[in-house]
Amino acid sequence: MKIICHGGAGHTPKVQDGVDKAAEKGWSVLKETDNALEAAITAVIIMEDDFRFNAGTGSCLREDGSVQNDSSVATSDGRMGAIANLRNFKNPVLIAKELLDEFPVMLAGKGAIEFALKKGYKQTKVKGSEKGWTGDTVGAVVQSSKGDIVVASSTGGVRGRPVGRVGDTPLWGSGFYCDEKIGIVATGVGEAITEQLLCYRVAQHSENLEEAMEWGVRLLPKDTGVGVIGINNNGQICGSSNTSMPFSIIER
Ligand code: ASP
């Protein structure tokens, strides 16, 4: 059993306690249920509800002062769900999770909002935060004792970007990737991560996760903040970043 959580590329080490708490809560769900999906969702919700992170309640503001959320979830049994430009839902990761068993697997804007309402989620004002720069998205990767892997990620995007802008977080292969061998999520400047199809390429690069991640981070310019975390079925669990990226690992 393993869990790794991050609090965003570029975020201060001062929020390490928030990332540790997310990993601990996710771990306790994993220990109790051996359900990697529930553990990953629990961990992400803890950080979405922590105003210090750029996700859920603390999401950064767009150019027009609004909050728009992107989120994604994927599982090693071949399912994925993602939402983009969601507005005013407390925990966007729960809506992405709902899409795991739907077809379409990805919804944006008005369609995502209607889907969430239909599923019984209530729209509530998400205040957002004027702080937060390019980094601080949150993410989790979890592996159960049976070997299932799940990835989950959630973000308010990047401060000051235009309304309707979609970063890497909800884009399959860019901000998240999962198959039966590996699960990876990314954080950092979404445009650069998307251009590199970062998570998919890291997953294909090498059996050695640490080496693959270091290679992946180097695909982006040094001054473009980026980070990745992941787990593979060789028993490796790690994170790599070219900037500060609080992350937390628990394994047994
Ligand atoms: N990757 C996110 C985005 O570009 C931002 C982040 O990781 O903080 O939307």
pLDDT in tens, 204-238: 998 999 999 999 999 999 999 999 999 999 999 99
Give, for ligand 1, the residue of 158, 184, 197 to mutate: max count of ligand atoms closer than 8 Å to Cβ.
Answer: 158
Rounded to the nearest angstrom, the distance between the alpha carbon of 84 and the centre of ligand 1 is 12
Instruction: Inform me whether the pLDDT recorded for 143 exceeds 80.
Output: yes
Q: Which residues line ligand 1 (CB under 6 A)?
A: 8-9, 54, 134-137, 155, 157-158, 167-169, 187-190
For residue 157, give the ligand 1 atom closest to its CA: 9
* Bridging pattern class, strands 80-86 and 106-108: parallel
Rounded to the nearest angstrom, the distance between the alpha carbon of 187 and the centre of ligand 1 is 5
Enumerate the domain spans of the chain.
Answer: 2-251
Sheet of 237-241: strand order equals 176-178, 182-188, 226-232, 237-241
| Dihedral pair phi/psi, residue 57, rounded to 5° | -60, -35
Binding positions for substrate are 165-168, 187-190
Average pLDDT, the chain: 96
pTM of the model as a whole: 0.97
The pLDDT, as a whole number, for residue 130 is 80
To the nearest 10 degrees (0 to 180), the angle between helices 209-218 and 198-205 is 140
Instruction: Inform me whether the pLDDT recorded for 121 exceeds 90.
Output: yes
Catalytic residue list: 137
Instruction: Inform me whether the pLDDT recorded for 101 exceeds 80.
Output: yes
Run of H or E residues at 250: strand 247-251
Rounded to the nearest angstrom, the distance between the alpha carbon of 92 and the centre of ligand 1 is 15
At 133, the pLDDT band (50, 70, 90 cuts) reads: low
Pick the CATH number of 2-251 from 3.60.20.10, 3.60.20.30, 3.60.10.10, 3.40.50.620: 3.60.20.30
Q: Whose CA is nearest to atom 8 of ligand 1?
A: 135
Instruction: Inform me whether the pLDDT recorded for 37 exceeds 80.
Output: yes
The pLDDT, as a whole number, for residue 136 is 74
HSE of 58, CA atoms in CB hemisphere, 13 A: 24
The pLDDT, as a whole number, for residue 96 is 98
User: Over the stretch 4-23, which tens digit does the pLDDT of each residue have?
Assistant: 999 999 999 999 999 999 99
Q: Answer yes or no: are the C-beta atoms of 6 and 225 closer than 8 Å.
A: no
